[in-house]
Structures are given as structure tokens and as C-alpha cells.
Amino acid sequence: MIKYIVKRFFLMILTIFIIATLTFFLMNAIPGSPFNEEKTSNAVVQENLEKHFNLDKPLPVQYVLYLKSIVTFDFGPSIKQPTETVNSLLGRGFPISAELGIWTILVALISGITLGVVAALRHNKLIDYTAMTIAVLGISIPNFVLATLVIQVIAVDLKLLPAATWNSPQHMILPIIALATGPMAIIARLTRSSMLETLTQDYIKTARAKGLSPFKIVVKHALRNALMPVVTILGTLLAGILTGTFVIEKIFAIPGMGKYFVQGINQRDYPVIMGTTVFYSTFLVLMLFLVDIMYGVLDPRIKLHKKGGE
């Protein structure tokens, strides 16, 4: 298990390095300068600006400075907001994006697992059909379409909840619904199919024969194995949620990292774009690494396989 973790850790570092390198060279492949749209036409001013942000140096030197900024976690100042550093923007936006992401994952997991388990226990009954209909709709509707629908119906027509910003728990509900519905639907369908398969296993029949209550059979014996496929796709779902926050934050005017990332793209703010990309990628790869470890903890067969192969 230790060898497995070490191997995954070095793969994580390699993945971050590749992403950082691709980000740097793709950004530098864009024609022109981020100062081309400045209101001043003074070539001296533009030259001084490029010198200040190290854009006048050869590309290999810029690349080394860029890697150094990643290692030291100091991405420098923003080009379009000189009074702000990329670190300060990340520090201001990440807690909000993280809060949105954490609540979204929790809501998706709890509601999806509950819906899937109930549907499996009431297989081919009305509640099963209803749950799967909800799941199909959740998978079919993109989160940005659902976001506009809940704003129109719940916030504008019914006036039950505020439509935008991030000032109170009430402001959190609609963005979480828009982001969590898709992952919830995927988790529900996966939990249902896995639960149906698990409930037919011999050890479940043995537990029933011993007279264990249905609650103990489901929670103590069936659910753990039924959740293994959910843990497997958790990393992919997490990636979808994190990338989905860019659009949702824009729609709901949430001052998270997505706001600064989109602004950076529109303004060609290289430090902001590269800093947020590397930060998000590092965070995502780290979460995938933790999911791999959690999968190994939940499934002892991984450890047994490793021991047998050593």
C-alpha cells in the first residue's frame, strides 16, 4: 500500500508539471502582447511594462521564472490590476469557490446515495421509476441551463430565494442546486445499479438468514460494497463540479475563483490565467490522489493484490 501511495504521489507531481508546462507555452503561443489594447500608444511605456512583468526576457528564461513562481507559490502581480497580486486574488476567491464546491459535493453525495438506495430497495415500484426519472432529467439538463431555470422560476417568478451574489445561506441554495443536480443524478443511478447487484450476493442472503434487520443488512453489509463504484467516479465528478463552478459563479455573480479566471481570459492577464490554472489543477490532482488512497482503504483487495505481487 505504501509503494502504491508513493507511486501515485510521483505521478501527481508529474501531472502538475505537464499541466503547468502546457499552460505556459499555450499562453505564450497567443499572438501579440497583453498590453496591445492599452489606451497608450507610447512604445516606451509598453516596453517598460513588458520589462516589469519579465515579458521582454527570452522564452526559456520566462519558463524558468514561471516554474520558480509555482514552487515558491508566488505568481506575482496581476497585469490588469497592478495593485493586486495573483495570490491575493486566489486567497479571496478560493474560500468562496471551495465552500460552493464542498456543499455541492455533500448535497450530491447525500441525495444521490439516498435516492439510489431507496430506488434499489423499491425496485420496479413507483418510487424506483420516479427516482430514475429525476436522475435522467438531472443528467440531461446542463447546469447552466438549470441555473437560468431556477433563477427564473424560484427567484424571479416565485420570489422565494435571492437570485445572485454570495451574502447569506439563502444565496447559496440556487447555485448549489444548479451544480449538484447532475452529479446527484449520476450517483443515484450508479448506487441503484450497484446496490441491486450487491443485494443478490451470497453474504447478503446469509445475513438475512441470520435474522439481521433490513436496516443493518443495508447499512452495515450492502452499502459499503455498493459505494465502491461511487468512490471510483468521485474524482471525475469532482473535476466536473470544479470546472462547472466557473460558469455557475458567472451566472450567479459569485465572487469566487471562476470570476477572476474569466476576467483574466477576457483581459489577457497572463499571471492570473496561469496562476488560477495551476492552482486549480494542483487542487484537482491532489483530490484525485486522495480519492485513490480512499479507494485503497475501502477495498482491501487492492492491498492484497499489492502484497501478492511484491
Q: What is the pLDDT of residues 174-225, one digit of tens each?
A: 999 999 999 999 999 999 999 988 888 888 888 888 888 888 888 877 887 7
Same domain? For 46 and 151 the reply is no
pLDDT band at 237 (very low <50, low <70, confident <90, very high): confident
Same domain? For 24 and 131 the reply is no
Same domain? For 29 and 154 the reply is no
Same domain? For 172 and 61 the reply is no
pLDDT tens sequence across 11-69:
889 998 999 999 889 888 877 667 666 555 567 767 777 777 777 788 899 899 889 98
CATH number at residue 165: 1.10.3720.10
Flag whether 65 is in a domain.
Answer: yes
Same domain? For 55 and 156 the reply is no
C-alpha dihedral sign at 147, 152, 156, 159: negative
Flag whether 58 is in a domain.
Answer: yes
Q: How many domains does the chain have?
A: 2
pLDDT of amino acid 306: 44
Q: Residue 249 burial (CB < 10 Å; 0-12/13-18/19+)?
A: buried
Range of the domain at 47: 17-72
Same domain? For 162 and 290 the reply is yes
Same domain? For 34 and 138 the reply is no
The percentage of the chain sitting over the pLDDT mark of 90, rounded to a whole number, equals 22
pLDDT of amino acid 129: 92
Flag whether 87 is in a domain.
Answer: no
pLDDT of amino acid 304: 43
Q: Assess contact for 131 and 115: CB atoms under 8 A.
A: yes
